[in-house]
């Protein structure tokens, strides 16, 4: 079994493997409906946990509802070590869009949907998602009102820890003034480095940084320099991209997703890949470009 990048303690108390698993790709095309291959989707979830993954990322608007139902089918009753992180702040429309859903009623309903479909009494971590980056919804200037709703649900015991997603440093500080924040989810990878300063801020403040689209998302990372670096270390380009993220910051947690058992194993193996300084320097040039 790979070491999965070691362990990080979310909020100082929830130990998770730094290499986790994101469940979004288990839904059907367009993150809509059930998986193309139900049995394989169940097998991927079970293998991830069997191989030691303790950080599972999801949302009830994946599907909607179908991915959380699949997680419950595959893994419930959950291992004590498993930490399930979900997100709220959007919903799915009939045209398969991702409109924002940030009202108190929307957020409360979303939390209860996650509780019911995952089959738990309390959610380990809930991220407030301010926008869907893929569709470029505008980010509210203030997150005080929606984050305050989640803070109240946390006080009620329905949520253990809170995080934020697609935020600026200023919005992170605003959230921290309302309730403790254990993680930030922003788009970040070799090619998209807009959150560089926020990565360092999170590390300094003991907050996990969890990059979504670590491999480029809907536009996979492509670079001749990345291919060259991968050849030099005897790994795949995607493994090198993941290894670079793990070495970028000690508070970086990865949640690459896949619906393929073989791809899952390839991703997990990246946690054991140590990139030498010359390769790191060349990879940094991709972001600079």
What are the residue numbers of the active site?
Answer: 62
Please, what is the Cα angle at 278 between 276 and 280, to 5 degrees? 70
3-state helix, strand, coil in the chain (%, to 5): 40, 15, 40
- In whole angstroms, what is the distance from residue 194 CA to residue 189 CA? 9
Angle between the 38-50 and 261-269 helix axes, to the nearest 10 degrees? 30
β-pairing, 123-129 vs 21-22, is unpaired
- In whole angstroms, what is the distance from residue 146 CA to residue 248 CA? 31
Contact 163, 127 (CB under 8 A): yes
What's the chain's Rg over C-alpha atoms? 18
Please, what is the Cα angle at 242 between 202 and 278, to 5 degrees? 95
Backbone φ and ψ of 161, nearest 5°? -140, 155
- In whole angstroms, what is the distance from residue 129 CA to residue 43 CA? 28
DSSP state of 76: P
Distance in Å from the first CA to the final CA of the chain:
36
């Amino acid at each position: 079994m790979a070491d999965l990048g070691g362990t990080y303690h979310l909020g100082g108390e929830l130990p998770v493997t730094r290499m986790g698993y994101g469940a979004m790709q288990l839904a059907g095309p367009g993150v809509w409906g059930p998986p193309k291959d139900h049995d394989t989707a169940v097998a991927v979830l079970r293998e991830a946990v069997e191989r030691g993954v303790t950080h599972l990322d999801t949302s009830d608007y994946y599907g909607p509802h179908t991915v959380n139902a699949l997680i419950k089918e595959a893994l419930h009753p959950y291992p004590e070590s498993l930490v399930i992180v979900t997100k709220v702040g959007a919903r799915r429309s009939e045209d398969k869009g991702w409109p924002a859903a940030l009202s108190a009623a929307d957020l409360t309903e979303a939390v209860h949907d996650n509780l019911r479909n995952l089959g738990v009494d309390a959610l380990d971590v809930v991220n407030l998602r301010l926008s869907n980056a893929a569709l470029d919804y505008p980010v509210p200037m203030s997150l005080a009102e929606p984050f305050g709703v989640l803070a109240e649900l946390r006080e009620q015991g329905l949520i253990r820890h809170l995080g934020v997603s697609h935020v600026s440093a200023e919005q992170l500080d605003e959230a921290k003034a309302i309730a403790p924040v254990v993680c930030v989810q922003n788009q970040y990878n070799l090619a998209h480095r807009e959150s560089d300063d926020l990565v360092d801020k999170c590390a300094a403040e003991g907050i996990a940084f969890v990059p979504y689209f670590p491999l480029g998302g809907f536009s996979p990372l492509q670079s001749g320099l990345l291919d060259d670096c991968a050849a030099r270390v005897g790994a795949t380009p995607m493994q090198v991209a993941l290894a670079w993220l793990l070495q970028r910051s000690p508070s970086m947690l990865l949640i690459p997703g896949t619906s393929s058992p073989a791809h899952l194993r390839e991703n997990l193996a990246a946690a054991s890949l140590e990139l030498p300084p010359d390769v790191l320097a060349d990879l940094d040039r991709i972001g600079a470009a």
